[in-house]
Amino acid sequence: DQQVKQNSPSLSVQEGRISILNCDYTNSMFDYFLWYKKYPAEGPTFLISISSIKDKNEDGRFTVFLNKSAKHLSLHIVPSQPGDSAVYFCAAQFGGNFGNEKLTFGTGTRLTIIP
Amino acid sequence: EAEVAQSPRYKITEKSQAVAFWCDPISGHATLYWYRQILGQGPELLVQFQDESVVDDSQLPKDRFSAERLKGVDSTLKIQPAELGDSAMYLCASSLVWTGPTGELFFGEGSRLTVL
């Protein structure tokens, strides 16, 4: 049962344009959502997160939008740069009790920025 | 900058052999995770430790996989015997006891296992 889904395995975007990566989830009990970026042969690195009580969080070129009613979130990168080429994972986390810190990941979207 | 250390970075082994991976989390991080990432898929949790205690090992194939964190610091993940389907990247991550609203986990560079 895939609780976090990224339906686009790959995405190509021209340098300087906006990149939009999408993620859907099925469990309405998730409290936090995170985006991780992964380069080949490296571990994932944290990019940005959002709490379920918010609908937007912005950090520089990166903005995450959350639509709870649709169980959908998206990551916007503006403007896209060549160094943004990587695999992006959406992840979800339960809140509340201790022991709920583990992340449930989507399958990832490979973003390629075309110079 | 503090990092999660993992070794070895790469391991090639034959089917039915034993393999072991080591992880040293960021100092002060009480929670440690082992994830497995099969090519083309997202990381899946194998086991979560709080100090030396297992919090969640529901997805760990216990007939061949074992994990320990004896002193609540570094950890070892073992596979015996290895099977072809175990070929994957094994990722270790750590976090503070309570990471707050971001829930951020810090990942190591991973150990790439190839089973022949």
- Strand (E) or helix (H) holding A103: none
**Residue A96 contacts B where some CB pair is shorter than 8 Å:** no
User: What band does A96 get if pLDDT is binned at 50, 70 and 90?
Assistant: low
Name every chain B residue with its beta carbon within 8 A of the beta carbon of A99. Answer: 48, 50, 55-56
Domain spans, chain B? 11-94
Alpha helix (H) residue ranges in A5-107: none
Stretch among A6-10, A80-84, A109-113, B92-96 having the lowest mean pLDDT: B92-96
Question: Is the CATH number 2.60.40.10 carried by domain B11-94?
Answer: yes
Instruction: Tell me the C-alpha distance between A100 and A57, whole Å.
Output: 22
The CATH number of residue A81's host domain is: 2.60.40.10
pLDDT at B97 over 70: no
Domain holding A35, by residue range, is 4-114
Burial pattern A72-102, b for ≥16 Cβ within 10 A else e, equals: ebbbbbeebeeebbbbbbbbbbbeeeeebbb
pLDDT of residue A2: 82
- B81 to chain A nearest CA, in Å? 25
Contact A8, A69 (CB under 8 A): no
Query: What residues have CB less than 8 Å from B115, skipping those under 6 apart?
Result: B13, B14, B15, B82, B83, B84, B85, B86, B87
Pairing mode, if any, of strands A62-67 and A72-77?
antiparallel
Stretch among A45-54, A90-99, B57-66 having the lowest mean pLDDT: A90-99
* Domains of chain A: total: 1
User: What band does B33 get if pLDDT is binned at 50, 70 and 90?
Assistant: very high
pLDDT of residue B22: 98
pLDDT at A100 over 70: no
Q: Which residue has the higher pLDDT, B63 or B99?
A: B63
Query: Would you call A34 and B102 a contact, using CB atoms and an 8 Å cutoff?
Result: yes
Instruction: Tell me the C-alpha distance between B50 and A83, whole Å.
Output: 35
Which residue of A6, A32, A43 is in closest CB contact with B91? A43
Query: Would you call A49 and B104 a contact, using CB atoms and an 8 Å cutoff?
Result: yes
DSSP A61-77: TEEEEEETTTTEEEEEE
Q: Is B46 exposed, middle or buried (0-12, 13-18, 19+ CB in 10 A)?
A: buried
DSSP B59-111: TS-TTTEEEE-TTSS-EEEEESS--GGG-EEEEEEEE-SS-GGG---EE---E
Query: Would you call A49 and B44 a contact, using CB atoms and an 8 Å cutoff?
Result: no
Name every chain B residue with its beta carbon within 8 A of the beta carbon of A51. Answer: 101
The single-letter DSSP state of residue A92 is: E
Interval A4-63: pLDDT, tens: 999 999 999 999 999 999 999 999 989 899 999 999 878 899 999 999 999 999 999 999
Interval B98-113: pLDDT, tens: 555 566 789 999 999 9
**Residue A109 contacts B where some CB pair is shorter than 8 Å:** no
**Residue A21 contacts B where some CB pair is shorter than 8 Å:** no
Summary mean pLDDT of chain B: 91
